[in-house]
């Protein structure tokens, strides 16, 4: 009789594991106010020493094991992933894993002109670029690094020229900072083939000073855009998709809304996150991770690692956004710059 393959794991809420997000560095060339505020991540901030980062070989080994448990999509994040040296070498290794069907990268875009062609050649499928406004004054206030919009647009154009499209754009919307840019951003990118996604300001980490009254909700964003450009909902492309999709009724493209605060999507969440130093997190809002680096460097076999990962996932019960409260908001959660978005 043929050997029976073990069933793919599901967590305590019946959710499979399909999506792995890998932070390759905790460093970034931006200091965005909702992620790495300069008051916390200043000149004296201690980033991870290089020896503590997972090597490309260690990451590739872990991804191979994750695919045995159902992972098909891998997203490279940071910090800013393009500040990690020789990143195309990692992309090439991950692209060679047959079960990885979707290999993507999230970036602020500034370094794409230098790296887009090499990333495409190595096997990267597409990129998502963060852009929080389309005017320099607002955008530079948000990124706190003196970077104008033109630098990001140049990165988007370089990615498209290299074949890393269609491009998705992420805009985090924070009240009092950039909500006035929602409609101008929609105007700029509708009809371009680039998919703009608006993200509610989230209480990730413990350093961005998050307050509920600073959240511009999905309803507010949609009503702002629909007042000028009518929208209609679109069906999801797959189960577990975090963005609610809407198309312009005149056929000029689509937008997405990622509304973790006002419209929690915990029930379908199929994502795990691996930090740059090998901590596995089963929720974006986690307070603690699982140390995989020690296992990898301590001589654990692939079978040992697979059993550990299966046990972690099958014990998962995360649903932070569904139960968000004053008490949970105050918890010392892992920072977004460390875990990836």
pLDDT score of 336 = 78
Question: What does the alpha-carbon distance between residue 95 and residue 125 come to, in Å, rounded to a whole number?
Answer: 9
List Cα–Cα distances, 262 to 93, 247, 336, in angstroms. Answer: 38, 21, 19
Are 335 and 207 spatial neighbours (Cβ–Cβ below 8 Å)?
yes
The predicted model scores a pTM of 0.94
Higher pLDDT, 58 or 284: 58
- Residue 112 placed within a domain: yes
Higher pLDDT, 284 or 108: 108
List Cα–Cα distances, 29 to 25, 42, 81, 131, 174, in angstroms. Answer: 11, 12, 10, 14, 21
Question: What does the alpha-carbon distance between residue 201 and residue 58 come to, in Å, rounded to a whole number?
Answer: 33
Specify burial of residue 28 (Cβ count, 10 A radius: 0-12, 13-18, 19+). buried
**What pLDDT band is residue 296 in, cutting at 50, 70 and 90?**
very high
Residue 314 pLDDT > 90, yes or no? yes
β-pair type (73-77, 271-274): unpaired
pLDDT score of 241 = 83
Whose CA is closest to 174, among 134, 216, 144, 211?
Answer: 216
Domain containing 261 equals 19-339
pLDDT score of 73 = 97
- Residue 6 placed within a domain: no
Q: What is the mean pLDDT of residues 88-93?
A: 98
**CA 286-290-293 angle, 5° bins:** 130
- Residue 11 placed within a domain: no
Out of 142-146, 283-287, 335-339, give the one with best mean pLDDT.
142-146
pLDDT per residue over 25-84, tens digit each?
Answer: 999 999 999 999 999 999 999 999 999 999 999 999 999 999 999 999 999 999 999 999
- Residue 180 placed within a domain: yes
pLDDT score of 5 = 58
Whose CA is closest to 82, among 42, 122, 33?
Answer: 122
Residue 236 pLDDT > 90, yes or no? no
List Cα–Cα distances, 81 to 236, 271, 339, in angstroms. Answer: 28, 19, 12
- Residue 315 placed within a domain: yes
- Residue 3 placed within a domain: no
Q: What does pLDDT average to over the chain?
A: 94
Are 107 and 131 spatial neighbours (Cβ–Cβ below 8 Å)?
no
Whose CA is closest to 259, among 245, 274, 238, 273?
Answer: 245
Residue 3 pLDDT > 80, yes or no? no
Domain count, the chain: 1
Q: What is the mean pLDDT of residues 10-22?
A: 97
pLDDT score of 196 = 98
Q: What is the CATH number of the domain that holds 182?
A: 3.20.20.70
- Residue 4 placed within a domain: no
pLDDT score of 1 = 43
- List the strands of the sheet with 168-173, edge to edge: 231-233, 244-248, 254-258, 195-200, 168-173, 126-130, 102-107, 73-77, 19-23, 271-274, 279-281, 290-291
pLDDT per residue over 164-223, tens digit each?
Answer: 989 999 999 999 999 999 999 999 999 999 999 999 999 887 788 889 999 999 999 999
- Residue 245 placed within a domain: yes
């Amino acid at each position: 009789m043929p050997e029976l393959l073990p069933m793919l794991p599901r967590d305590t809420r019946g959710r499979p594991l399909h999506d792995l997000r890998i932070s390759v560095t905790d460093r970034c060339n931006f200091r965005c106010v909702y992620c790495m505020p300069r008051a916390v991540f200043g000149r004296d901030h201690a980033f991870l020493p290089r020896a503590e980062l997972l090597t490309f070989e260690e990451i590739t080994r872990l991804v191979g094991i994750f695919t045995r448990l159902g992972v098909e999509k891998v997203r490279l994040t940071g910090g800013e992933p393009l500040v990690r040296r020789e990143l195309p070498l990692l992309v090439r290794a991950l692209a060679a894993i047959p079960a990885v069907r979707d290999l993507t990268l999230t970036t602020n875009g500034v370094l794409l002109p230098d790296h887009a062609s090499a990333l495409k050649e190595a096997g990267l499928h597409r990129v998502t670029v963060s852009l929080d406004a389309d005017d320099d004054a607002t955008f530079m206030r948000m990124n706190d690094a003196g970077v104008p919009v033109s630098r990001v647009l140049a990165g988007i154009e370089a990615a498209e020229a290299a074949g890393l499209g269609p491009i998705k754009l992420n805009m985090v919307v924070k009240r009092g900072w950039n909500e006035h840019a929602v409609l101008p951003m929609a105007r700029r990118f509708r009809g371009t083939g680039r998919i703009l996604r608006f993200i509610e300001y989230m209480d990730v980490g413990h350093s961005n000073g998050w307050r509920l009254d600073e959240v511009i909700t999905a309803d507010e964003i949609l009503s702002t855009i629909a007042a000028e450009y009518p929208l209609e909902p679109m069906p999801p492309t797959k189960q577990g998709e975090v963005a609610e999709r809407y198309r312009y009724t005149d056929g000029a493209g689509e937008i997405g809304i990622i509304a973790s605060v006002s419209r929690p999507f915990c029930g379908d969440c199929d994502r795990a996150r691996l930090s740059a130093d090998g901590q596995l997190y089963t929720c974006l809002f986690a307070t603690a991770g699982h140390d995989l680096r020690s296992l990898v460097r301590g001589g654990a076999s692939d079978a040992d690692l697979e059993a550990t990962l299966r046990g972690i996932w099958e014990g998962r019960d995360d649903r932070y956004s569904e139960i968000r409260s004053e008490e949970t908001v105050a918890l010392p959660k892992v920072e977004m710059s460390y875990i990836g978005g």
